[in-house]
Amino acid sequence: MSTRAAIRGFGRLLPALRPERRAMAGSYLVATASALGLAALSVLTAWAVGHAIVDRTPPGPVWWTAVIGLVLLRTVLTWQEMDVSHALAYRVLARLRMALFDAYARSVPARRREHSGRAAAVAMGDIEKLEFFYAHTVAQLGASLTVFLASFTAAAVLLPEAALVMFGGSALVAGTALCWAGAARRIGEREQRDRETLSARTVDALGALREVLGYGLAPRIVAEAAEATGRAAAVSCRRELLSRLSAGVREVIVTAVVIGVIAVSAAAAGVLSDTADARLSPAVLPALIALALAGVSAVTEAATTLTELHPLTASARRVADGVARPPVVSAPERPRRVPDGPLGVRFRGVSFSYDDRRPTLQGWSADVAPGEHVGLAGPSGAGKSTVVALAARLWDPSAGAVELVAADGTAVPVTGIDDEAFRDAVALVEQEARLFHGTLRDNLLRGTGPRPDAELREVLERVGAGGWIGLDEELGEGGVRLSGGQQARLCLARALVRRPRVLLVDEVTASLDPETERVVSEVIAGFDGTVLAASHRHETLAHFERVVHVQAPAPDSEPEKDRARHPARDGS
């Protein structure tokens, strides 16, 4: 990645600072005052020492007052500067976290799926890493520049050639910010990737814990993680060495500047040659050196900050990419109202393909009349789940349209409806529906307004879950203690609590025993509204008034051509 691309990467993160303009200005002022105070302190001290040695005159009370005042001021300013800049940075990070969540909420599930462990690593780890960028970069670089200019001007007044040495040295020091930048960025990329991979592996192992334990995979997973940590440690060692090396080079340059200033001022003081007349009192020499050091140190600090940024480039880019993820469904510009009364669902020449596969659906059409109960049949993998997902607007089709149809025949494309209004009308029970951490009541009420407990209990009774679970029971993440059948029934109950007009169901009866399957089928049959339910089971499909079939497109169709026509909106 080139320097320009890196700068662009960080540039994309700058807009997050926009609401912090005042705080940034405050941070700059405090940082500058603190750095100038430190420079003044060392120059004053050196000045007093120089005069004491050469002229044998002690500093007066003014000096003492100034110095003690500066020490105290500097203490307060140091703390203040850190406080202001960090508080600012954490506000920005909190804002970025929410921006990232919004982006994921618009774009997940993407057609090309991203591992949640990776996404979580970005949302938590990478954002935290950017603390350095937001807390230590913009205002601090400005402060360093100010201090450099001030000390350069002062040095130029005292002895122009010393200022020249200082300027040359500072330019060299600034140049080191670009030394090994490419290598540092590559190391940062590698570290970022390793962190994501470790996170994904961990999430995988925790999510498949039953399999991991059953097949005795834990020792292997642990060994792999330890090995990965070892490799990561080797990479971070390289990063440390690079940053140490450029810091070392800077130190050598600073030393050279000190030597240069000593040399030129010694010459100016007439020490090195007997002939020249002294243009500089030896008493000023220590102050001049302190001044030169202050100027070069400011530049050194700035260069160190820039060096530390290189490895963060990868994190910056990942976060910026995440925030800019393309949405999987488009938001309507002028939302249309959902018609009142019963709603039907119409598929008109719908095509859809997952990112790297051949099309799952091609020009598929079907019509579900308002109030009608329709079963969706087809072999495993034929695209039943895709049809249901399109009707639920988890994605937009790549061609064709899905419409909600009122009893009077008015058709509104789902892409033209505001998301909230759409979710009020349509509910989905997915094959992989998830129960969330929290009580059963929390779960049932997700996305709905308040409902009385009696109503919730009545719905639980209807799905045959009245007996074995209470509303206050903690379900745990993914409903850990519940069997697949129990989870499916609770997910159905959660959809019913929403009182939808269209109920979309994907294979909910798959894992139920015959008795419960009968109950659930009856619940769906008795549902007062439109139903579209995918199932591969004849018994389940037999309950429906009508069954439509989904067939995978013939394998000889060309996915490449199809994708070219409808550029895939992948989310990675």
Partner 1 sequence: MMIVGHLWREAARFPAALLSSTALLLLVFLTHLAQAAAIAWSMSAVLRGAPQDVLLALLLIVGIAVLRLLASLAQSAAAAGLGGRVRQALRRRAMEAALVPERLHDTAVRDGTMRASLSDGVDGTDAYVSKYIPAVAQVAVACPAVVVLLALLSPPAAAGVAAAVLLAVFGPMAWKRLIARRGLDHWDGYEALSADVLESLRGMATLRALGDVSGTRARLHARSEALRRATERVMRAGLAETAVTDLAVQGGIVAAAGVAVWGAVSGQAPAGGVYLVLLLASEAFRPVRELSRHWHAGFLGLTAVPGLEEIGAFDRERGEGAPVPASVPEAADEDGTGRRDGDPPGGAASASSAEVLRVSDLGFRYPGAACDVISGLDLTARRGALSAIAGPSGSGKSTLFDLLLGFLTPARGRITLDGRPLRTRDIAVVSQRPVLFAGTVRENLDATGTAAGEAELVAACRAAGVLEEIRALPHGFDTEVAEAGSSLSGGQRQRLALARALLAHRPVLLVDEPTSALDTGRAADVLATLHRVARERIVIMISHRPEALAGVPTVLRLDAGRLDRSVQ
Interacting stretch for partner 1, rule CB under 8 A, among 167-175, 318-326, 388-396, 400-408? 388-396
The label of the residue with tokens 């044998």 reads: 56
Judge residue 355's burial from the number of C-beta atoms within 10 Å of its C-beta, 0-12 exposed, 13-18 middle, 19 or more buried: middle
The reply on whether position 66 binds partner 1 by CB under 8 A is: no
Report if residue 74 touches partner 1, rule: CB under 8 A: yes
Interface mask toward partner 1 for 107-126; x: CB under 8 A: -xx---x-xxx-xxx-xxx-
423 binds partner 1 (CB under 8 A): yes
Note whether 485 binds partner 1 by CB under 8 A: yes
- Distance between CA atoms of residues 544 and 374, nearest Å: 6
* Binding flags for partner 1, 448-467, as an x/- string (CB under 8 A): --------------------
The nearer residue to partner 1, 74 or 186, going by C-beta atoms, is: 74
200 is a site residue for partner 1 (CB under 8 A): yes
What contacts 539, CB < 8 A, 6 or more positions away? 517, 521
Q: Segment 528-567, which members bind partner 1 (CB under 8 A)?
A: 536-538, 555
DSSP notation for 535-564? -S-HHHHTTSSEEEE--PPPTTS-HHHHHH
Q: Tell me the angle at which helices 160-175 and 138-158 cross, rounded to the nearest 10 degrees.
A: 150
Q: Cα dihedral angle (308, 312, 317, 319), rounded to 10 degrees? A: -120
Residue numbers 431-450 binding partner 1 by CB under 8 A: 431-434, 436-437, 446-447
Site pattern 267..286 for partner 1 (x: CB under 8 A): --x-xx---------x--xx
DSSP letters, 178-206, are GTTHHHHHHHHHHHHHHHHHHHHHHHHHH
Q: Does residue 503 interact with partner 1 by CB under 8 A?
A: no
CB atoms within 10 A of CB 238: 15
Q: Does 259 bind partner 1 (CB under 8 A)?
A: yes
Spatial CA neighbour of 330 closest among 431, 410, 402: 402
Q: Which 2-61 residues touch partner 1, going by CB under 8 A?
A: 38, 41, 45, 48-49, 52-54, 56-59
Q: Which one among 248, 326, 341, 470 touches partner 1, defined by CB under 8 A?
A: 248
368 scored as a contact of partner 1 (CB under 8 A): no
Q: Is the peptide bond before 555 cis (omega within 30 degrees of 0)?
A: no
CA–CA gap between residue 466 and residue 473 (Å, rounded): 13
- Compare residues 1 and 267 and give the one whose CB is closer to partner 1: 267
Q: x-or-dash pattern for partner 1, window 304-323, by CB under 8 A?
A: --------------------
244 binding partner 1? (CB under 8 A): yes
Contact with partner 1 (CB under 8 A): which of 1, 183, 208, 399?
208
List 461's β-bridge partners, or say none: none
Taking CB under 8 A as the criterion, the residue among 1, 217, 401, 407 binding partner 1 is: 217
Q: Considering the rule CB under 8 A, would residue 494 count as an interface residue with partner 1?
A: yes
- DSSP category for residue 176: G
Residue 204 touches partner 1, criterion: CB under 8 A: yes
Q: H helices of 445-508, where? A: 453-462, 484-497
